Amino acid sequence: MSEREAPLRVSLVGYGFAGRTFHAPLIQAVPGLSLDFVASRDAGKVHADLPDVEVIDDPMRAATDPRADLIVIASPNDSHASIARAALSAGRNVVVDKPFTLSLTEARALGTLAQERNCLLSVFQNRRWDTDYLAIRQAIDDGLIGDVMHLESRIDRFRPQPRPRWREQTGPGSGVLWDLGPHLVDQALQLLGWPDTVQACVAAQREGAQVDDWMHIVLGFGQRRAILHAGMLAAGGSHRFLVHGTRGSVVKRQPDRQEAQLVAGLRPGDAQWGVDDDDLFVYDESGSARRMAVPRGDQSRYYASIRDALLGHGENPVPPVQAIAVMAVLEAAVVSAREGRVVVPDLG
């Protein structure tokens, strides 16, 4: 797509928590993108936030609208593949919220279709622009701890009561493995590459829980290990990242704040947007610790990169090959948890 004066028109399919909290405000924060269409059956809810958008009550019609330059799919997980397939078949460029699909076969088919149609296809891995991940990546890249041998990445929350939403109700693509697992796996693959083995277990720990609300995945990279964990009964005492290397260790205690900021109404460009005052702790070979400030986060950079890719000025920030790798690990984790064994992921 060549550079032009008019902004790229975006159609957002779905206006639940993900669409309303993340996609809409992040898209609106990026110059050169215009959120013009939203697929929802609740026009009043959409117009209360976005009075100027056109609300389309049919997700498939919104996904194939020829007026849109970019389709963003933020619908329930089990509809991602079918809506993305329709959009790509219509020649639309597509961003899919995580998880990409619910099977590796579907993910690979969409990657092939995007290539055949010469369309951009990307998965919304916004947490690559979180302060915690950026700090850990910088410490590793700068060689502060030598070769990484042990990585722990956790998303812990304290929500003792299940909530009445589709992510926590029985059905395809529900549960914490499909909700938080894609972020944890994607970050681990970015930091360590592709694993040799996957071992996982899940549980439903809260009273009344219909689906898994606790997950634990161990990825093997030769002698190195990555532990990915998420749970809903952690009131405190845990860390977001812990990494041990051949020359030292790093710890990031508190998570990035951008989700909480978005819920509270902050937006990219606000003075406190992406600011994180929880320092990184770096331990050297003697065990002595020093504090390091963490980089500022900005999840809107994902959509800025999408804009640039569509205009021919940059690369797709999360291309299909990376999204397919995440799906391979998640599918291996599902098999491992179900069968109670170590699984070699099918990375093709």
**Residue 199 belongs to some domain of the structure:** yes
Tokens read off for 84? 């993305």
99 neighbors 318 (Cβ within 8 angstroms): no
Model pLDDT for residues 312-341, shown as the tens digit of each residue:
999 999 999 999 999 999 999 999 999 999
Model pLDDT for residues 162-212, shown as the tens digit of each residue:
999 888 899 999 999 999 999 999 999 999 999 999 999 999 999 999 999
Round to whole Å and give the CA distance between 64 and 170.
29
Same domain, 58 and 188: no
Domain count, the chain: 2
Tokens read off for 43? 């026009």
pLDDT band with cut points at 50, 70 and 90 for residue 79: very high
**Residue 347 belongs to some domain of the structure:** no
**Residue 3 belongs to some domain of the structure:** no
> Which is nearest to 11 in space by CA: 82, 60, 80?
60
CATH of the domain at 66: 3.40.50.720
pLDDT band with cut points at 50, 70 and 90 for residue 347: confident
**Residue 345 belongs to some domain of the structure:** no
Same domain, 121 and 44: yes
Same domain, 282 and 143: yes
Same domain, 253 and 108: no
Model pLDDT for residues 223-263, shown as the tens digit of each residue:
999 999 999 999 999 999 999 999 999 999 999 999 999 99
Domain interval for residue 45: 8-126+301-317
CATH of the domain at 227: 3.30.360.10
Residues 6+ apart with CB under 8 A from 204: 210, 211, 212, 213, 214
**pLDDT, the chain, mean:** 96
Radius of gyration of the chain (CA): 20
- Say which DSSP state 152 is in: E
**Residue 324 belongs to some domain of the structure:** no
Which phi and psi angles does 71 have, rounded to 5°? -105, 125
Same domain, 62 and 178: no
Q: What is the DSSP string of 220-236?
A: EETTEEEEEEEESB--S
Same domain, 64 and 117: yes
Say whether pLDDT at 122 is over 50. Answer: yes
Instruction: Quote the pTM value.
Output: 0.95
**Residue 140 belongs to some domain of the structure:** yes
Tokens read off for 294? 């963490």
